């Protein structure tokens, strides 16, 4: 923003625990799965739910919930989401 110092801007930082060095991160860009985040390291891709107070007036603080891990045995270079991914359907559908 012009005319504002970075220290004057309202910045948000959130973190959550990870078991290994994270090499790739991707939020789902689709409405029905917009709370999902996938992050990958040397041997797995983890899928979690992230909710932010800036986006959801029902929560007061950052919400993080780990859902599952996919162990692939190789270093994760990139992550892409399917439009079919959803946490609103039972059972959870992650593709």
Digit-coded pLDDT (tens) for 25-76: 999 999 888 889 999 999 999 999 998 888 888 888 888 999 888 898 899 9
Tell me the torsion sign for CA atoms 71, 67, 65, 49: positive
Tell the burial category of 76 from Cβ atoms under 10 Å away from its Cβ (0-12, 13-18, 19+): buried
pLDDT given for residue 90 in this prediction: 40
Q: Confidence band (pLDDT; 50, 70, 90) for 3?
A: very low
Q: How confident is the model at residue 4 (pLDDT cuts 50, 70, 90)?
A: very low
Residue 56 structure tokens: 């959801």
The b-or-e profile of 80-95 (16+ CB within 10 A means b, else e) is: ebeeebbbeeeeeebe
Measure the CA–CA gap between 48 and 36, rounded to whole angstroms: 6
């Amino acid at each position: 923003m012009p005319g504002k110092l970075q220290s004057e801007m309202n910045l948000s930082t959130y973190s959550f625990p990870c078991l290994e060095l994270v090499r790739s991160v991707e939020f789902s860009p689709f409405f029905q799965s917009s709370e999902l985040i996938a992050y990958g390291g040397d041997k797995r891709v983890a899928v979690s739910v992230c909710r932010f107070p800036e986006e959801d007036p029902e929560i007061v603080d950052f919400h993080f919930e780990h859902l599952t891990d996919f162990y692939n045995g190789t270093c994760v270079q990139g992550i892409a989401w399917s439009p079919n991914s959803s946490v609103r359907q039972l059972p959870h559908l992650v593709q």
